[in-house]
Amino acid sequence: MKKLALHWQIIIGMVLGVLFGLLFLNFEWGKAFVLNWIKPFGTIFINSLKLIAVPLILASLIKGISDLKDLSKLSSMGGITIATYIFTTMMAVTIGLVAVNIIEPGNYIAEETREQLVNAYSSNANEKIDVANSQKNLGPLQPLVDMVPSNFFNAASNNRNMLQVIFFAIIFGISMILIPPKKSLPIKNFFDSLNDVILKIIDLIMLCAPYGVFALLAAIIVESPSMDLFKALGLYSITVLFGLILLICIYLIIVRIFIGKSPSYFLNGISPAQLLAFSTSSSAATLPVTMERVKDHLDVDEEVSSFVLPIGATINMDGSALYQAVAAVFIAQAFGLDLSLAAQLGIVTTATLASIGSAAVPGAGMVMLIIVLSQAGIPEIGLALIFAVDRPLDMCRTVVNVTGDATVSMFVNKIVTKKRT
C-alpha cells in the first residue's frame, strides 16, 4: 500500500486537531484537558524544530559558502538575494495599502465594539508598546549593532538572535575560502558531515509532524477569544487574507514566467513547509523543512538554498510587511484618522524596514507594528483592536513568508545557473 504523502498527513492532522478542539469546547473540563494533555505535544514538536534551527543555519551556511570557492560568486549571489528580498517586501506593503484603502475595513467598526476590544486587550497592547519603545530609543543604527554578536555562544543560545548567527557563519565561511584548501579541508569535512546529520534529524522530526500540528491546532481552537470579536474584525481579516492570497498569486506568476516552472510543480514541492508554517507561525521553526523541500523537490542547488533561505527566514517577511500596512491603515480608519499620501508612503518605507528587523518567531510582527504606527502618527493603543484575530492571521502570513523565501531561492538559482552557462 502506497504511503500517504507528508502534506496530506499534515492536512489530516490539522483538520482532526480543529475538530478535536471544537468537540472538547462543549465540555466544561475540555479546555483544561486540551491545554494540559494535548498542547504539550505541540510545544515539544515546535521546540524540536527550534532545537536544530541554529545548528542548521550554521552548518548549511558555512557549507554553502565554502563550496563556492570564489568570493565573486558570494558577492554576486548576496547582491541578487538582498535586492530581490527588498523588492518583494516593498511590493507586499504596496499590495496591503491598496487593499485596505479599497475595502476600508476600519470604517465598519462600531464605537461599542472598538471600546470592547480596547478594554479587553489593552494590557497586551501596552506590553508590546513598551517593548517597541525600548527599541526606538536605541537609535537608528541599533539593528546594525545588534547584527554583530559580542559572544557567539550567547547568540547561538537564542533563536531571536538568528541574524547574529548568520553573520558569524558568513564570516567563518569566507575565512575558509581565504585560507589554503589543505588547511580548511578538515573543518569543511566536519561541517559537511554535520549538515548531513542535521538533515537526517529533520527527517526524523517530520515523522511526528502530523501529530504535532494536531496538538497545536487543538490548543489554538480552545484558546481562541469570543467569536463575537472575530465577527467584528471579520472584514479586517478578509482584507489581510485577500492581500496575502494576491501576493501568493504573484509568486506563482514569477515562478511561471521568470523561472519557467508550473504553479502546481511549485506548490506540490513547497506545500509541506507551508502547512508547517501555518501550524507553527514561525519561519525559523519551518526553515529546516523549507530547505529540504526547496533542495530536494524544487531542484534548487544546495549552495543557493543554504545561503538564500537562512537569510530569507531572518529578513524576508513579505506576509508580515503586508499585514503591518493593512493593520496600520485599519487602525487609523477605526479611529477616524485620514492618512495622507505622504503618511502612507512613510508606511511603505517603515514597514519594509520593520519586517526586515522582525524576528522569525510567532508574534514578532506585532511588536514591529508599533514602530509603523508611531511613524504614521496612529494611536498605539489601537494595537488592541487587532489582538483578537492576530494569531490566525499570524499563521497565514507566516505561510506567505515561507512561500516568498522559496520563490526567491528559485529565482536566484535561475540567475546563478544562467551565469554559469
Contact 98, 325 (CB under 8 A): no
pLDDT of residue 172: 92
CATH, range 6-420: 1.10.3860.10
Contact 108, 238 (CB under 8 A): no
The residue written with cell numbers 578538515 in the block is 186
SS3 415: helix
pLDDT digits (tens, 9 = 90+) for 195-234: 788 878 877 887 888 898 888 878 877 876 544 445 556 7
pLDDT of residue 217: 79
Quick one: 352 exposed, middle or buried, by C-beta within 10 A (0-12, 13-18, 19+)?
buried
Contacts of 67 (CB under 8 A, 6+ apart): 302, 303
Distance CA 15, CA 214 (A): 8
pLDDT of residue 132: 59
pLDDT of residue 242: 94
pLDDT of residue 83: 87
Cell for 195? 549538515
Low pLDDT (below 50) residues in the chain: 1, 226-229, 357, 359, 361-363
pLDDT of residue 105: 83
pTM here is 0.72
Question: What's CA 222's distance to the chain center, in Å?
Answer: 24
pLDDT of residue 355: 61
